[in-house]
Amino acid sequence: MINSVLVTLFSRDLAKLKVELESYKTETEIWKVAGDIANSAGNLCLHLVGNLDTYIGATLGNSGYVRDRDAEFALKGIPRSELITRINSTIQTIQKVIPTLSKEQLESEYPLLVLKEKTTTEYFPIHLAMHLSYHLGQVNYHRRLIA
């Protein structure tokens, strides 16, 4: 079933996000922006965990998480250790929720209209995994650009 593949991909890429954050020489660099790069690695991290905690944790797992999307891009200077704690929490959410999704749930309509068109519940986590991968690449580029 796709559940185990999704858990593996999310866990892998969120672990890589931790490695990226740990690879910055200083915590200050995590929050820098340069040139046309508008989002820092810290803000991208907050955005990624907020996204997953909303659309998997709250929507599919009824976690009670309430998203503040504006804060994901406005907050600055959160310690690296707190960002990593948030990533670890999101990994736990993924590992708790995704395996519980039944074939019927995956084939049903995703509970929220997020994109322009309705999707299945199976489609939406795949979309989220690709979104994570896209921003993970941006974090990697940001780290190398700032160094």
Residue 94's identity, in one-letter code, is: I
Domain count for the chain, please give it: 1
Domain that holds residue 129: 2-146
Q: Give Cβ neighbours of residue 125 (< 8 Å, ≥ 6 apart).
A: 6, 10, 55, 56, 98
Q: Give Cβ neighbours of residue 100 (< 8 Å, ≥ 6 apart).
A: 61
pTM given for the model? 0.96
- Given this model, what pLDDT does residue 37 score? 85
CA dist 26 and 47 (Å) reads 21
Averages of pLDDT over runs of 10 residues in the chain (147 residues) are 95 98 97 90 98 98 97 97 98 98 97 95 97 98 90
- Given this model, what pLDDT does residue 43 score? 98
Q: Of 126, 122, 137, 132, give the one whose Cα is nearest residue 48.
A: 132
Q: Which domain CATH number covers 83?
A: 1.20.120.450
The DSSP letter of residue 67 is -
The DSSP letter of residue 97 is H
Cα 137 to Cα 20, 84, 121, 141, 142: the distances in Å are 10, 17, 25, 6, 9
- Given this model, what pLDDT does residue 147 score? 75
